[in-house]
Structure 1
């Protein structure tokens, strides 16, 4: 893990620059995320062969159509529910318009909080840190766990909009509480200055109230929201429900 870009990888930097110029020329409204948003908000740099961009559903067709007409590029609609890709040699662009669990769908509100900056000499809009955390908090599987990324964003980024993050995670507030407790464990000296007391108290009150509610009728496992493989046995063998299709 590095704290500055590797200037020796000229091929990668040439791809990033060219791809961003093309993205701007396509006329699509997009936001840069992934490793480069992490670098901007935390100072942590990771070598990568891909650009992660986020956009609304209505924007990705413009990007695919534009790149399909550019020499050396190949486009792919990977999963109509959330992902498309653009390839050039060993490098590629991930075009993300939802998340694999279909929870963090990109809409107009994402664009209202973007941060304008320059990357590889190209003017770009970065996804806001709150949306970055929102997406990453659901990545908790055996192959990849983004909890450390979330901790680093919370630690390093100032002026975090906690109320907006709570709004984003209101339905799945348990994940936010779990993340705050992990942050408290990892950074015991910094926790009081980073995490607002009102938020911690609110989430702890919600957790206590769970014991006062009637037991749920349907046996639900929400594990697939954060890991689609490790909770397979719960759904296929133990008869827990992840999604229920039922009329009432």
Structure 2
């Protein structure tokens, strides 16, 4: 039987890349275009205020994707990532400066407005699957944006943050594939696996999609990682299905998988649903 375990972290032939060295420290100049012509000035002002505040933050979203892949596309907002404990400090800082602040979702998202323009303050995903931690800052990179050198999330964290964004109106699978294609040497695959340990099947789905999209580039995904994930799948297939009916699709889109919970008896992200035999209680 093949050994599907990931190689030891210190094995000389399978060492994880030094993700602080595989790409230059200043990755690139981020140059997305803006849906609103007035946005660039507002974002430049916001970044200047963030830097002046001394509060730790990272840029993500289109700016990070542009830096790692070279893709230039229009963006409607600015994604500012921070740790949950720093989010209130950032929001209050801008509120004290006269900006309008909205706590859109206490679990992960606040917004800072000036008129119709805004930027997001993000500290997790809607499902809570990808909380921003100190590790994001330890593995951050730098870019030139709005005339300043600022930090962006690393490519490993970029993949992780986008892996769960799969809604009818927004699907970030292409962003995941493009990041793997263009920045695979800087991705720490073991750290990515650790991030997605509980959701390893979702990681496998993205990797298989990458292989299908780019058949000539299949080898950029480490062989040990595919062996590990396929080994888990082979082992899982020997087990009976779970007793509790759950719908983890709610981690991807609460709206698109609402019927599963409201009408079909599947458990939500928390709480209980029906059991596989149709009952709702266990003695």
SS at match of 1:190: helix
Cα distance in 2 between the residues matched to 1:15 and 1:99: 25
Cα distance in 1 between the residues matched to 2:257 and 2:96: 42
- 2:134 matched to 1:108? yes
Counterpart mapping for 1:39-50 below 5 A: 39-50=66-77
SS at match of 1:62: helix
Whose radius of gyration is greater, 1 or 2?
2
Cα distance in 2 between the residues matched to 1:4 and 1:108: 27
The answer to whether the 8 A contact 2:163-2:176 is kept is yes
- Out of 199, 206, 231, the position equivalent to 1:172 is 199
SS at match of 1:77: strand
Instruction: Name structure 2 gaps, 5 residues minimum.
Output: 1-29, 273-283
- 2:209 matched to 1:153? no
Instruction: Name structure 1 gaps, 5 residues minimum.
Output: none
Cα distance in 2 between the residues matched to 1:10 and 1:234: 42
- Out of 43, 58, 62, the position equivalent to 1:31 is 58
Number of equivalenced pairs: 244
Aligned to 1:190: 217
Normalising to structure 1: TM-score of the pair?
0.92
Runs of 4+ in 1 over 4 A off after TM superposition: 3-10
SS at match of 2:237: helix
The answer to whether the 8 A contact 1:110-1:127 is kept is yes
Cα distance in 1 between the residues matched to 2:257 and 2:89: 36
Normalising to structure 2: TM-score of the pair?
0.81
Q: CA deviation at 1:103?
A: 1.0
- Out of 131, 154, 159, the position equivalent to 1:133 is 159
Cα distance in 2 between the residues matched to 1:120 and 1:241: 45
SS at match of 1:238: coil
Counterpart mapping for 1:1-248 below 5 A: 5-6=32-33, 11-71=38-98, 73-157=99-183, 158-192=185-219, 194-245=220-271
Cα distance in 2 between the residues matched to 1:92 and 1:133: 24
Q: Please, which moves more after superposition, 213-222 or 181-190?
A: 213-222
Cα distance in 2 between the residues matched to 1:191 and 1:79: 39
CA RMSD of aligned residues (A): 2.2
The answer to whether the 8 A contact 1:27-1:62 is kept is no
